[in-house]
Amino acid sequence: MTRTSSAAYLLARARTPQAPELADIPWLRALLPQERERALADLRVVEVNVGELLCRVGRPVTYWFGVIDGLLKTSNDTSMGIPITFTGLPPGGWFGEGTVIKREAYRYNIQALRKSVVAGLSVETFHWLLDRSIPFNHFIVQQLNERLGQFIAAREIDRLGDPDARVARSLAALFHPVLYPNVGSLLRITQQELGYLVGLSRQRVNEALKRLEEVGAIRVEYGGVRVLDLERLRGYGMR
């Protein structure tokens, strides 16, 4: 399937969001009635299958996306063709606002690690809200500010030689209360999926999770990880 046909295939599957899905969109509640009406008329939701690309490097931006359910990853390839994962995108996370603001082509890929439900707001409506809505502007500024801190932390994680600390800090990033408000204290993620995000084998991730359980930072539950002490998780491995 070509890049163009893949995007068209996703768009053809898109539908209007249901009430429970709208309730999971944090910025929607802050809009004034006219602004909310415009957003509701424009929002679309699509189910993205495992391995399917929602965004591709080089494609022009058309939507601002948010994860309603599931798990995505942001990645790119090095000049040698080696994939690099930047971050995971759990439920509640809206992403790509910088690309939408600049109306530029994507510099990264967004791929589903599991079957996911994703909402999209068109570039035109995004800019319409940006020009008119103070609450929407506040949300976008906060997103950009928190995202900057997240990527600075990601650079620090990349330099960590301790795999346990890498797993701990990467997990903590997925529990960010501002960027991913719908995660809560339990993240639905497998050890294999976490391995993809951290760049470690499932076996090594398993060892790290056991050590994090031993210090009381997390509890591994069926189908996911529950955080018991987020601050300990964020600071794991610091001297």
Q: What is the pTM of this model?
A: 0.86
CATH topology agreement for domains 3-150 and 161-234: no
For 107-115, what is the mean pLDDT?
91
Stated as kind and residue range, the H or E segment containing 63 is strand 63-69
Question: Which class does domain 161-234 fall in?
Answer: mainly alpha
Structure tokens given for 231:
């601050």
pLDDT > 50? residue 3: no
The domain segmentation of the chain, as residue ranges, is 3-150, 161-234
Q: Are 61 and 173 in contact (CB under 8 A)?
A: no
Compute the distance between CA of residue 220 and CA of residue 186 in angstroms, rounded to an integer: 9
Question: Of 227, 215, 221, 20, whose CA–CA distance to 117 is shortest?
Answer: 20
**Residue bearing tokens 């990033």:** 173
Stated as kind and residue range, the H or E segment containing 201 is none
Structure tokens given for 165:
């600390």
Q: Are 224 and 236 in contact (CB under 8 A)?
A: no
Reported as a single tens digit per residue, the pLDDT across 181-230 is 888 889 999 999 999 888 889 999 999 999 999 999 999 998 899 999 99
**In the chain, what percentage of residues exceed pLDDT 90?**
62
Reported as a single tens digit per residue, the pLDDT across 160-175 is 668 898 899 889 989 9
Tell me which CATH code domain 3-150 carries: 2.60.120.10
